[in-house]
Amino acid sequence: MSTTVIAEIPGHELPSEERVNYLTVDHSVKSWLLTHDHKRIALLYLISITLMFFVGGFFAVLMRLNLIEPTGLVAPETYNKLFSMHGIIMVFFFLVPSIPATLGNFLVPMMIGARDLAFPRINLLSWYIYIVGAAFTMYAVISGGVDTGWTFYTPYSSTFSHSQVIPAAVGVFVTGFSSILTGLNFIVTIHKMRAPGLTWFRLPLFIWAMYATSVIFILGTPVIAITLFLLGLERLLHIGIFDPAIGGDPILFQHMFWFYSHPAVYIMILPGMGVMSELITAFSRKRIFGYTFVAFSSLAIAVISFLVWGHHMFVTGQSVYAGLIFSVLSFMVAIPSAIKVFNWTATLYKGSISYEAPMLYALGFIGLFTMGGLTGLFLASLATDVHLNGTYFIVAHFHYIMVGGAVMAYLGGLHFWWPKITGRLYPDGWARFAALVIFVGFNLTFFPQFVLGYLGMPRRYAVYPGEFQVLNVMSSAGASILGVGYIIPLVYFIWSFKYGPIAGPNPWGAKGLEWTTPSPPPTENFEEVPIVTEQAYNYAGTSESAHG
């Protein structure tokens, strides 16, 4: 039986601008703000998240400007607020929702052959909750800022800080529920609404990644919610839960905080890994090497991620035994990621590789993520972590993964699916140029920070000893290049909405149910429910039984 999908019958197909699609079906503001369509909600998220990215990025620019001078350029109080708000916005309002709420929302139903997610109204609610949370946080920003770091450590945040801790904590608390609802929607949708013939092991790996991410959303986010709730109560009513002066335990806060925040970093990278599997296969036109291994690696990462939070606390005075346990588990969590990197690389072998922008981002991801991940080994190692904790080494490590990894995967995915989402092509020449600028700028920004960390420069320093200046200036120079690199796609993406060439249903010749629909798709995605008879990424057209 052949796959029953939208037939691209030459001559019978309407040009995109004449066909009604999810963008053109209704132009009223109300139809956007009250939409149930997962694709429109994805775009609503895209706009909000892009806005938050540039706000957080703006703070980063100010930070790097300050760090050009060892004596600083802004007041320390200001700098402390800058890095706190940069962290809070980037982590909670950009990285955590980025791929799931934009690409995930858009693609999950399409990749499984469904008309929408299981709970479209809850999907819309999740966006409004995000907006409310963002509003609280923006209020915190404009009403004086918050200076506790995104980690809100007590007793500084509960008793000593004079900044807008509660509005910021409320903002993060509220936005957490946006993640929870998104995760809930994805889990139910993936379990219950796959098209006929789409068994678990025929799913695109992006779906596996979304699933694993959603498990972490559901199980992890409530813990940060309760932690921040307690922090707010402590700050307001001095109940004494985290303040040692009244009997509380500040380390308990750290345990509770990191119990979510470590899995959270896997929320931030797993979706990017899912995008990677899609990009590598599409641009080498090959089946993924080791599908089962990659799929189970996503699940393994999600599970083990809950067991390693203590590696953020090696120098807090926790017992040596606790340190050993968290250390060995932290090494274990690295293995599934390594497996994925090897499988992606092997997928390229004897492929037919092209170098459009999405692929450049994908290849950049693999290298930078490898480096970021390997530097994690320095931190999982107890003896070196003692020296490196709290320094710029940590900053470099997580930026390699979050920016060199997650953001590049996000950009790669945006470029890849842009024609599907908008029905337009972006200018690939500019896109490749921007990818290169981002790659160079990124490395110049963050590689010197590894060195700074080992030299001993602590993080969150507004001023620093003069001998660190050369490396700091290099880093700030890189940041300026990186900033330019991010603005270029903003410009041509917006440009492409109106002036980009019209895209066909499948400009890349990629496999996947989403590519069998018109670009942009109609509101209902598929006119007929597709039936799936082959495994994912079956470029070579082999039957399933031919594979081990």
Partner 1 sequence: MAGLLRIFSLYMTGLIQFGLENIASAAAWIPLHPPTASSIAQNVDLLYYFLTALTLFFTALIFGIIFFFMVKFRRRSPDEIPADTKTHLSLELTWTIIPTLITFVIFVWASVLYVRNSRPPESSMEMFVVGKQWMWHIQHPEGVREINEMHVPVGVPVKLTMTSEDVIHDFYIPAFRVKKDVMPGRYSSIWFQPTETGTFHLFCAQYCGTDHSEMIGWVYVMSPTDYAAWLAGGTKNESMAQMGGRLFSQLGCAACHTSDSSGRGPSLAGIYGTTQKMRDGNSKTVDEALIRQAIVNPNSITLPNYPPIMPTFQGQVNEEQVLQLIAYVKSLEPEERTTSSK
Partner 2 sequence: MADMATHNAHHAQHDAFQHQFEDMEQQRDAGTFGMWVFLAQEIMFFGGIFAAYIVYRALFHDSFEIGSNLLNVKFGAANTVVLIASSLTMALAIHAAQAGKKGKTQVMYLLLTVLLGVIFLAVKFTFEWTADYHEHLIPGFGFIIRPEWGAAGSHVPMFFSFYFFMTGLHALHMIVGIPIILIIAVMAWRNKFDEVYHAPLEMVGLYWHFVDIVWIFLFPLLYLVGGRYLSNGGH
Scan residues 81-100 and list those touching partner 2 (CB under 8 A). Answer: none
Binding to partner 1 (CB under 8 A): which residues in 15-44? none
Asked whether the beta carbons of 164 and 145 are under 8 A apart, the reply is yes
Q: Quick one: which of 305, 389, 472, 476 contacts partner 1 (CB under 8 A)?
A: 389
Closest alpha carbon to 209 in 328, 107, 130, 115: 107
Cα separation, 228 vs 242, in Å, equals 11
Closest CA relative to residue 242, chosen from 317, 159, 319, 147: 159
Q: Which is nearer to partner 2, 192 or 547 (CB)?
A: 192
Tell me if 4 contacts partner 2 by CB under 8 A: yes
222: partner contacted, choices partner 1, partner 2, none (Cβ within 5-8 A by kind): partner 2
Query: Smallest gap, in angstroms, from Cβ of residue 230 to partner 2?
Result: 7
Q: Candidates 346, 436, 477, 502: give the one binding partner 1 (CB under 8 A).
A: 346
Q: Is 531 in the site for partner 2 (CB under 8 A)?
A: yes
Q: Tell me which of 460, 481, 488, 504 binds partner 1, using CB under 8 A.
A: 460
| DSSP character at residue 201 | G
Instruction: Spell out, one character per residue from 224 to 263, where the chain touches partner 2: x when CB under 8 A holds, - when not.
Output: -xxx--x--x--xxxxxx-----xxx--x---x--x----
Contacting range for partner 1; rule: CB under 8 A; set: 33-41, 269-277, 366-374, 407-415: 366-374
User: For partner 2, which is the closer residue by CB, 325 or 425?
Assistant: 325
| Residue 232: contacted member of partner 1, partner 2, none (CB under 5 to 8 Å, by partner type) | none
The answer to whether residue 299 forms part of the interface with partner 2 (CB under 8 A) is: no
Distance between CA atoms of residues 75 and 79, nearest Å: 6
Regarding 484 and contact with partner 2 (CB under 8 A), the answer is no
SS3 for 286?
Answer: coil
The answer to whether the CB of 481 falls within 8 A of the CB of 441 is yes
Residue 502, beta-bridge partner list = 424
Question: Alpha-carbon torsion 478, 482, 483, 484, what sign?
Answer: positive
Q: Please report whether residue 115 would count as binding partner 1 according to CB under 8 A.
A: no
Q: Residues 408 to 437: which contact partner 2 by CB under 8 A?
A: none
Residues 491-530 that bind partner 2 (CB under 8 A): 524, 527-529
Indicate the residue among 448 and 483 with the shorter CB distance to partner 1.
Answer: 448
Question: SS3 for 502?
Answer: strand
Q: Tell me if 547 contacts partner 1 by CB under 8 A.
A: yes
How many residues lie near partner 2 (CB under 8 A)?
48
**Is the separation of the CB atoms in 421 and 39 below 8 Å?**
yes
Separation of alpha carbons 281 and 352, rounded Å = 10
Q: What is the CB neighbour count within 10 angstroms for residue 84?
A: 27
Length of the chain: 548
Nearer residue to partner 1 within complex by CB, 51 or 325:
325
Please, what is the minimum distance in Å from the beta carbon of residue 358 to partner 1? 14
Which helix (H) or strand (E) segment holds residue 200: the answer is none
Tell me 405's DSSP state: I
For the record, the structure tokens of 17 come out as 């601008």
Residue closer to partner 2 by CB (options 112, 536) is: 112
For residue 89, how far is the Cα from the chain centroid? 13
Interface of this chain with partner 1, residues 259 to 288, rule: CB under 8 A: 284-287
Is residue 461 a contact residue for partner 1 (CB under 8 A)?
yes
Six-digit token pair at 215?
A: 């498990």
SS3 of 151-195: the string is CCCCCHHHHHCCCCHHHHHHHHHHHHHHHHHHHHHHHHHHHHCCC
Q: What is residue 391's three-state secondary structure?
A: strand
The footprint of partner 1 on residues 130-169 (CB under 8 A) is 147, 149, 153, 155-156, 159-161
| Cβ-contact 485, 444 below 8 angstroms | no
Residue 476 interacts with, from partner 2, partner 1, none (CB under 5-8 Å by kind): none
Nearer to partner 1, 467 or 524 (CB): 467
> Given candidates 387, 427, 488, 495, which one binds partner 1 under the rule CB under 8 A?
387
Site for partner 1 in 233-262 (CB under 8 A): 244-245, 250-251
Cα gap 540→50, rounded to integer Å = 37
The contact pattern for partner 2, residues 99-118, with x = CB under 8 A and - = no contact, is ----------x----xxxxx
Using CB under 8 A as the criterion, which residues of the chain lie in contact with partner 2 when the complex forms? Answer: 4, 109, 114-120, 180, 183-185, 187-189, 191-193, 196, 218-223, 225-227, 230, 233, 236-241, 247-249, 252, 256, 259, 524, 527-529, 531
